[in-house]
Amino acid sequence: MAQKQAVRALVNHMKTSRLRTRSQLLALTLGLIILGVGSVANAQTIGVSIPAATHGWAGGLNFHAEATKQRLEAANPGLRIVLLTANSASEQANDLEDLLAIHHIDALVVLPFESAPLTGPVRNVKRQGVFVTVVDRGLSEAGIEDVYVAGNNAEMGRVSAQYIKQSLSDGGDIVVLRGIPTVIDEQRFDAFMAELEGSNIKVLDNKYANWNRDDGFTVMQDFLARFPKIDAVWAQDDDIAIGVIQAVRQARRQDELFIVGGGGMKEIVKRVMDGDRLTPVDVLYPPSMIATAMELTALKFLFNVPISGRYILGSPLITQENAAEYYFPDSPF
């Protein structure tokens, strides 16, 4: 009883502020690992539906999802976790049907492949009485999920723009490589553009690069061909940034500009740590948020904790001074 009260108190403490910090979420995770000792009274099944490892960040996501599944099941024999990965929105929608019809899930943790196409399928799951946790890419309709876990997308865009404004204090020309059409892309982009308002910085163009290094390379090639002067690049994702770096170096224009990426990929963080002029900073968006989402959802069934609400991680600027804190060489991302 004392253990359950301690967990409830921790969750209630997290709900007292609008922004949940990374340290609070890590404290909750630690509490779950320590207290998770087979407390599930009846067998419960949690379905986890996420995109396949189509790019680096998603690879990290898959790594943390599988590790968390193994850890939670080992600590709680009454808990079963079914993890499915999808290569498209339509495949993920089919996976949700299977989780209901075949696996009879009690809860769903879902990171939508795309927001709009998955809104209806997730709504259908919710209508069956399933507890729903949405991660990262919000749905197009508010109020479907019980819990929402994500990085702070608006902060990610805002922090990126603040650094560019500071670095180009006299103004300059920049290009933007976006992700894919999702709610989180809109949140990042809108906050980025709002932060630039009133500055002397001109956005020459913005295009989707699908959080993919090959698309990042192709889009950046187009920008380099069309714009003889580019002072900075906002590559919304580190995989995109890798493609941008390749295109810039191929065009031999690496001395003309700098790149601000996002995500915390170890390759980019190492460049920042080493003082690479082309990538002086990065902005954190941790794929380990899937672990937090799974652990929070498990708490609902382990201790009947009232965990409904929004749990938002911060997006700090990674600089040469603090990069070592975010560099994990053994990580897949």
In this prediction, residue 330 carries a pLDDT of 75
Residue 324 lies in a domain: no
pTM: predicted TM-score of the whole model, two decimal places? 0.73
Residue 126, CB half-sphere, CA atoms under 13 Å: how many? 19
Number of domains in the chain: 2
**Does residue 137 sit in the same domain as residue 231?**
no
Query: Both 124 and 185 in a single domain?
Result: no
CATH number of the domain where residue 265 is located: 3.40.50.2300
Alpha-carbon distances, residue 54 vs 41, 51, 110 (angstroms): 38, 8, 16
Of the pLDDT bands very low, low, confident and very high (cuts 50, 70, 90), residue 27 is: low
Counting residues of the chain whose pLDDT is more than 90, the rounded percentage is: 71
Indicate if the pLDDT at residue 47 is higher than 80.
Answer: yes
Q: Which domain holds residue 137?
A: 2-151+286-314
pLDDT in tens, 258-288: 999 999 999 999 999 999 999 999 999 988 8
What is the reported pLDDT for 182?
A: 82
Mean confidence (pLDDT) of the chain: 88
Domain assignment present for 213: yes
Q: 138 and 73 share a domain?
A: yes
Per residue in 146-203, pLDDT tens?
A: 999 988 999 999 999 999 999 999 999 999 999 988 888 999 999 999 999 999 999 9
pLDDT recorded at residue 90: 97
Model confidence at 301, pLDDT cuts 50, 70, 90, reads confident
The reply to whether 329 falls in a domain is no
With H, G, I as helix, E, B as strand and everything else as coil, classify residue 210: coil
Q: Is residue 327 part of a domain?
A: no
Distances (CA, A) of 59 to 143, 190, 287: 29, 27, 9
Does residue 239 surpass a pLDDT of 50?
yes
Query: pLDDT tens digit string along 109-135?
Result: 999 999 899 999 999 999 999 999 999
Confidence of residue 42 (pLDDT cuts 50, 70, 90): low
Residues 8, 145, single domain; the answer is: yes
- The mean pLDDT of 42-71, rounded to a whole number, is 90
Residues 146 and 245 in one domain: no
Q: Residues 134-138: contacts with CB within 8 Å, 24+ apart?
A: 134/110, 135/50, 135/109, 135/110, 135/111, 135/289, 135/290, 135/293, 136/111, 136/184, 136/289, 137/111, 137/112, 137/113, 137/182, 137/183, 137/184, 138/112, 138/182, 138/183, 138/184
State whether 227 and 306 are in the same domain. Answer: no
Instruction: Decide if 7 is inside a domain.
Output: yes
Same domain, 178 and 142: no
319 lies in some domain: no
> Residues 97, 215: one domain?
no
Confidence of residue 320 (pLDDT cuts 50, 70, 90): very high
Query: Do 17 and 147 have their domain in common?
Result: yes
Residues 47 and 128 in one domain: yes
Do 292 and 146 have their domain in common? Answer: yes
pLDDT at 11: 56
> Quick check: is 332 in a domain?
no
Q: What pLDDT is stored for residue 281 in this prediction?
A: 98
Query: Do 187 and 38 share a domain, yes or no?
Result: no
Q: Please indicate, yes or no, if residue 320 is contained in any of the structural domains.
A: no
